[in-house]
């Protein structure tokens, strides 16, 4: 559900950009039309000259307004105005030309040469229609303009006085002769432009969908990796689908809420979800601020790694900095809950440093980028051990040895990790 909403938002955003670009382009074209209608002599009949000027001014106003005010909330209204103008303008031009042809004695002045003007207004609107970045709308507008152009050709060719000719002497001497070669060339040009624009509209639509999927992928990437790590991934063109598993040293962190079962016992399911969401949001923010990556959520537990998919330098120190940020957030949250008369919440943190296999795990149907190995299991056990040694934060000796600062700690020697024969040294931290 959320992914479909995200896709829709991404597509709408690009639709708005397409409409804005199309409106700016049309604004420029109509500005040129107004300038031409005012400055150049143009049409013979003053009435049609005035109508054409007002038509260009109306288009200038509409497209200028759309370009300025269009956004996602006003998109439908702006699109309606832009498309309406796109549809009305060719028809208006058609009637203006026919008026000139009938009442301004164009048959006497131009005769068959009027056919050459039937194609002038076609290419521009067809090209701009592709800029809307909506495939089916572009198709409609392209064929709409094409249909009006064809109708204009038939209307002119049906005039009794006019006739087609491929004889250059006859065309030069007889005003009523329609140049058949020019008509053929213009028709060929129009067909090629139509085919090319339909292909371009299809390519734009396909690229739009691919860009939307890529944006969704980047958004999903942002849920697991900090902005700095994400930028490195994108700049290095790292493809997780093609990334082979590799062994590397990283810091693994687990956090969970103390006595969560007891805490959630008197809460409604919705309240439990809200509690978890608020807790995880605070933990993820701390992880991201210190160059870490969120591996997964396991109930009330958050698993984070420092050094994946690429190392950020001293990953053990980054993990310690993250712990500090987490504890600050928890104390602020505790005060907020206390002011509201809500029970306080404590949590545990365990961190271990060591070798892990980093890469894709799963099947062809579902793949997860994660870390596996003894280091992960030990980090989880260290987090659980907080309850046994009565500490909120525990780090392994492997973490402490790699810190950039001499941190005072209370040692817990020869701690026996459940399910593991080798004993380790832990360090209690008061942060």
Q: Does residue 220 surpass a pLDDT of 60?
A: no
- Regarding whether 262 and 201 lie in a shared domain, the answer is no
> Tokens 């690429």 sit at which residue?
310
- Regarding whether 423 and 371 lie in a shared domain, the answer is yes
b/e per residue 90-113 (b: at least 16 CB within 10 A): bebbbebbebbbeebebbeebbbb
- Regarding whether 184 and 313 lie in a shared domain, the answer is no
- Regarding whether 419 and 379 lie in a shared domain, the answer is yes
**For residues 2 and 368, which has the higher predicted lDDT (pLDDT)?**
368
What's the CA gap between 44 and 378, in Å, rounded? 90
Residue 335 phi/psi, 5-degree rounding, is -65, -40
In this prediction the pTM is 0.54
Q: What is the pLDDT of residue 407?
A: 85
Q: Mean pLDDT, the chain, as a whole number? A: 82
- Give whichever of 41-55, 83-97, 141-155 has the largest mean pLDDT: 141-155
* Residue spans of beta strands (DSSP E) within 290-409: 293-298, 301-306, 347-362, 367-372, 393-396
Q: What is the pLDDT of residue 62?
A: 92
Q: What is the pLDDT of residue 215?
A: 58
User: Which tokens hold the place of 430?
Assistant: 């008061």
| Residue 231 falls inside a structural domain | no
Residue 404 is part of a domain; what is its CATH number? 3.30.70.1230
- Regarding whether 189 and 315 lie in a shared domain, the answer is no
| Residue 234 falls inside a structural domain | no
- Regarding whether 309 and 209 lie in a shared domain, the answer is no
Q: How large is the average pLDDT for residues 109-138? A: 80
| Residue 357 falls inside a structural domain | yes
Question: 268 Cβ partners below 8 Å, 6+ apart?
Answer: none
Range of the domain at 319: 240-429
Q: Judge contact between 360 and 369, C-beta under 8 A.
A: yes
- Our count of domains for the chain comes to 2
What's the CA gap between 238 and 390, in Å, rounded? 42
Q: How far is CA 52 from CA 48, 55, 89, 106, 374, in A?
A: 6, 5, 10, 17, 79
DSSP notation for 5-24? HHHHHHHHHHHHHHHHHHHH
Q: How large is the average pLDDT for residues 189-195? A: 90
SS3 40: coil
- Regarding whether 181 and 87 lie in a shared domain, the answer is yes
- Regarding whether 299 and 173 lie in a shared domain, the answer is no
| Residue 260 falls inside a structural domain | yes
| Residue 228 falls inside a structural domain | no
| Residue 369 falls inside a structural domain | yes
Q: Of the given ranges (218-222, 335-339, 357-361, 386-390), which has the lowest mean pLDDT?
A: 218-222
Of 186, 221, 256, the residue at which a domain comes to its end is 221
- Regarding whether 203 and 58 lie in a shared domain, the answer is yes
Q: What is the pLDDT of residues 140-189, one digit of tens each?
A: 999 998 888 888 888 778 878 888 888 888 888 888 888 888 888 888 98
Q: What is the CB-side half-sphere exposure of residue 366 using CA atoms within 13 A?
A: 0
- Regarding whether 167 and 42 lie in a shared domain, the answer is yes
| Residue 227 falls inside a structural domain | no
| Residue 233 falls inside a structural domain | no
- Regarding whether 247 and 194 lie in a shared domain, the answer is no
Q: What is the pLDDT of residues 346-359, one digit of tens each?
A: 999 999 999 998 87
- Regarding whether 33 and 167 lie in a shared domain, the answer is yes
Confidence of residue 317 (pLDDT cuts 50, 70, 90): very high
Residue 225 carries which DSSP code?
Answer: B
């Amino acid at each position: 559900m959320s992914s479909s909403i995200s896709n829709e938002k991404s597509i709408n955003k690009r639709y708005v950009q397409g409409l804005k670009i199309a409106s700016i382009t049309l604004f420029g074209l109509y500005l040129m039309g107004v300038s031409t209608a005012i400055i150049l002599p143009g049409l013979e009949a003053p009435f049609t000259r005035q109508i054409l000027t007002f038509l260009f001014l109306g288009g200038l106003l509409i497209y200028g307004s759309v370009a300025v005010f269009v956004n996602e909330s006003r998109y439908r209204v702006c699109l309606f105005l832009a498309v309406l103008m796109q549809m009305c303008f060719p028809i208006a031009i058609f009637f203006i030309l026919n008026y000139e042809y009938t009442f301004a004695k164009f048959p006497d002045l131009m005769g068959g040469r009027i056919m050459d003007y039937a194609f002038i207004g076609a290419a521009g609107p067809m090209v701009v229609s592709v800029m809307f970045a909506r495939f089916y709308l572009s198709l409609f507008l392209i064929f709409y303009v094409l249909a009006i152009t064809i109708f204009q050709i038939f209307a002119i060719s049906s005039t009794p006085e006019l006739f087609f000719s491929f004889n250059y002497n006859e065309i030069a001497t007889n005003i009523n002769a329609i140049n058949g070669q020019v008509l053929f060339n213009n028709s060929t040009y129009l067909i090629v432009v139509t085919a090319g624009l339909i292909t371009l509209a299809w390519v734009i639509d396909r690229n739009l969908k691919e860009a939307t999927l890529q944006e969704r992928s980047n958004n999903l990437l942002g849920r697991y990796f900090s902005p700095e790590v994400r930028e490195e991934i994108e700049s290095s063109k790292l493809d997780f689908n093609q990334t082979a598993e590799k062994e590397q040293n990283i810091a693994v962190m687990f956090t969970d809420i103390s006595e969560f079962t007891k805490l959630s016992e008197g809460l409604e399911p919705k309240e439990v979800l809200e509690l978890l969401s608020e807790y995880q949001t605070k933990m993820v923010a701390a992880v991201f601020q210190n160059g870490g990556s969120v591996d997964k959520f396991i109930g009330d537990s958050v698993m984070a790694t420092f050094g994946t998919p690429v190392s950020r330098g001293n990953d053990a120190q980054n993990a310690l900095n993250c712990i500090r940020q987490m504890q600050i957030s928890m104390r602020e949250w505790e005060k907020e809950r206390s002011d509201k008369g809500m029970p306080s919440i404590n949590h545990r943190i365990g961190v271990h440093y060591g070798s892990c296999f980093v890469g894709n795990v799963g099947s062809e149907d579902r793949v997860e980028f994660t870390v596996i190995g003894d280091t992960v299991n030990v980090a989880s056990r260290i987090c659980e051990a907080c309850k046994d040694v009565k500490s909120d934060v525990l780090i392994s000796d492997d973490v402490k040895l790699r810190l950039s600062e001499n941190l005072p700690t209370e040692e817990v020697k020869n701690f026996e990790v459940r399910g593991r024969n080798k004993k380790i040294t832990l360090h209690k931290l008061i942060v």
